[in-house]
């Protein structure tokens, strides 16, 4: 029997685990993949307090190492269901069933990929799914972007020397900036590489554009399939929580990119994790 089981092992989850362990709680982390979360899908982090510029994988490893120094167990298993039996809850994975007094759901969200050649291979090597995370890495360079948000394009144009906006919508979108080129009625069909980094993109008209990065901002999907049997309230598939990260079910909390909020960044995820842990500590009393 655990005091808390945390689903996920990104910044929100690891932050929560550290707070819980420091409060002498018996905590277990269950992660279906590699600890670190979406940090591992970028290259550099330079907007996290205390790190001027850090290799993303190194930052993720430091977070993970901190939990290991506290002897917090992490199981690499896939959570497939959660059962709410009142004071005792069950977390069911593809390998086992675990009982716990409380749960923190912090397994984040996944980006919606284009599904084109070399996209997955070049993640973090010139393919990015987060403008605000990675834009500064491409200062004074030529970049391309697919996005539903005009603000993303404008934000990029203040950093990059040129922004090629591939307009996937049916709208006639224009920008009053000289360094933004809008391409309508075409789609990216291939990402070309050289020495294992992005070299250019090929569009459906067979034209090729040399770019240092392709930003794909087509939206995200929260990982919530395993909570379908619970009556957890959501907004646009994101878990709805109060200011203490509590869901509508007693003893079940959520934190990080899986919750409905305005800002999705590493630093806010870590904050969410701390808040959820402190709330759980209060709940367990």
Q: Tell me whether domains 2-110+220-284 and 113-217 share a fold.
A: yes
- Structural domain spans, the chain: 2-110+220-284, 113-217
Helix, strand and coil percent figures for the chain, each rounded to 5: 25, 35, 40
Could you list the pLDDT tens digit for every one of the 285 residues in the chain? 999 999 999 999 999 999 999 999 999 999 998 887 767 666 678 888 888 777 878 888 899 999 999 999 999 999 999 999 999 999 999 999 999 999 999 999 877 889 999 999 999 899 998 888 889 999 999 999 998 888 899 999 999 999 999 999 888 899 999 999 999 999 999 999 999 999 999 999 999 999 999 999 887 788 888 998 899 999 999 999 999 999 999 999 999 999 999 999 999 999 999 999 999 999 999
Nearest Cα neighbor of 17 from 56, 79, 70 is 70
Class of domain 2-110+220-284: alpha beta
pLDDT value at residue 119? 95
pTM of the model: 0.70
CA atoms within 13 A on the CB side of 29: 33
The structural architecture, per CATH, of the domain 113-217 is: 3-Layer(bba) Sandwich (3.50)
């Amino acid at each position: 029997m655990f005091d808390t089981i945390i689903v996920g092992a990104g910044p929100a989850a690891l932050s929560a685990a550290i707070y819980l362990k420091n409060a002498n709680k018996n905590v277990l982390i269950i992660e279906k993949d590699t600890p670190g979360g979406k940090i591992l899908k970028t290259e550099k982090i330079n907007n996290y307090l205390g790190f001027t510029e850090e290799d993303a994988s190194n930052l993720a490893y430091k977070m993970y190492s901190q939990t290991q120094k506290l002897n917090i167990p992490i199981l690499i298993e896939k959570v497939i269901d959660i059962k709410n039996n009142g004071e005792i809850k069950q977390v069911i994975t593809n390998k086992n069933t675990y009982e716990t007094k409380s749960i923190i759901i912090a397994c984040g969200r996944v980006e919606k990929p284009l599904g084109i050649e070399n996209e997955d291979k070049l993640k973090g090597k010139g393919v990015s799914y987060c403008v605000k995370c990675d834009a500064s890495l491409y200062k004074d360079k030529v970049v391309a972007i697919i996005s539903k948000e005009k603000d993303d394009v404008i934000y990029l144009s203040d950093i990059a020397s040129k922004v090629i906006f591939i307009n996937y919508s049916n709208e006639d979108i224009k920008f009053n900036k000289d360094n933004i080129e809008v391409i309508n009625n075409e789609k990216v069909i291939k990402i070309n590489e050289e020495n294992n980094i992005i070299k250019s993109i090929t569009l459906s008209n067979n034209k090729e554009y040399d770019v240092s990065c392709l930003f794909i901002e087509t939206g995200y999907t929260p990982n919530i399939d395993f909570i379908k049997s619970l009556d957890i309230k959501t907004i646009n598939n994101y878990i709805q929580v109060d200011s203490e990260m509590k869901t509508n079910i007693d003893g079940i909390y959520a934190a990080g990119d899986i919750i409905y909020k305005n800002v999705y960044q590493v630093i806010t995820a870590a904050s969410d994790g701390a808040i959820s842990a402190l709330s759980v500590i209060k709940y367990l009393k």
